[in-house]
């Protein structure tokens, strides 16, 4: 029991720190390596998803982005594991399990991407990076949807149910429309992760059980 309580507490802290770290490093590194990103063909308005943010790992300070992918992914997986211990409903277990997988996929983005404009064939690590991004989308968005269903089982968490589904709805176009929609996806999922983690920590891991 004490181990479970300790893991739940650690999961709450990880859930709070992970999104903050990812957002802060991405913004600061984009500002620092702005000219480098432009050299790859990225443009914040006309081509927002062109090698961003993955291309930051190719910059002189790229190790920071690589480290952030791993650390943020580990934080997400740990948070998902904590949710799995706290949630006992089928939808909660599915959602938290998918969140663990999404964290693994996020960590998988540490495999260095290939620049879109290049004269060489795709590398093995570039292919793994692209595959990790696909898996991230296929696990994170469903995780949010299933967790939204689980949150409906407790009055104190019910408001986070609709919020989760709205977040998922905002995130889905990033994988179809792309472009500026990617900013919405990134912001919506980071804010959702931070909000749920803060509530989870505030409630000391108490979530609806069934």
pLDDT in tens, 149-191: 999 887 778 889 999 999 999 888 876 667 788 898 899 999 9
Q: Which residues of 132-167 are buried (b: 16+ CB within 10 A; e: fewer)?
A: bbebbbebbbbbbbbbbbbbbbbeebeebbebbbeb
Average pLDDT, the chain: 90
On whether the CB atoms of residues 193 and 76 are closer than 8 A, the answer is yes
pLDDT of residue 4: 65
Q: What distance lies between CA 200 and its chain's CA centroid?
A: 17
132: in domain: yes
Beta-carbon neighbour count of residue 177 at 10 Å? 12
208: in domain: no
Question: With the CA atoms of 95, 83, 156 and 89 taken in that order, what torsion angle do they form, in degrees rounded to the nearest 10?
Answer: 50
Give the residue among 162, 190, 186, 192 at the shortest CA–CA distance from 174.
Answer: 186
Say how many Å lie between the first and final Cα of the chain, rounded. Answer: 18
pLDDT tens digits, one per residue of 17-58 = 999 999 999 999 999 999 999 999 999 998 998 999 999 999
207: in domain: no
30: in domain: yes
Any idea which residue has 């891991």 for tokens? 205
Count of structural domains within the chain: 1
210: in domain: no
209: in domain: no
- The secondary element (H helix, E strand) that includes residue 116 is none
Tell me the whole-structure pTM to 2 decimals: 0.91
164: in domain: yes
Q: What distance lies between CA 171 and its chain's CA centroid?
A: 11
34: in domain: yes
Q: Is the dihedral of CA 41, 173, 144, 16 positive or negative?
A: positive
Where in the sequence is the domain holding 52, given as residue range(s)? Answer: 2-202
């Amino acid at each position: 029991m004490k181990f479970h309580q300790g893991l739940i507490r650690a999961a709450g802290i990880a859930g709070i720190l992970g999104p903050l770290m990812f957002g802060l490093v991405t913004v600061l590194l984009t500002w620092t390596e702005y000219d480098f990103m432009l050299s790859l063909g990225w443009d914040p308005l006309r081509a927002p998803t062109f090698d961003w943010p993955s291309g930051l790992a190719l910059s002189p300070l790229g190790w920071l982005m690589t480290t952030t992918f791993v650390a943020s992914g580990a934080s997400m997986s740990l948070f998902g594991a904590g949710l799995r211990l706290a949630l006992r409903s089928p939808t909660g277990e599915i959602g938290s399990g998918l969140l663990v997988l999404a964290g693994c996929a996020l960590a998988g983005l540490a495999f260095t991407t290939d620049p879109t404009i290049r004269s060489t064939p795709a590398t093995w690590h570039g292919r793994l990076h692209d595959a990790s991004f696909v898996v991230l989308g296929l696990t994170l968005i469903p995780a949010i949807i299933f967790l939204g269903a689980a949150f409906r089982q407790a009055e104190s968490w019910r408001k986070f149910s609709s919020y989760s589904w709205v977040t998922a709805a905002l995130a889905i176009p990033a994988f179809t429309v792309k472009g500026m929609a990617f900013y919405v996806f990134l912001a919506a999922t980071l804010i959702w992760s931070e909000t749920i983690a803060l509530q989870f920590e505030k409630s000391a891991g108490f979530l609806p059980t069934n």
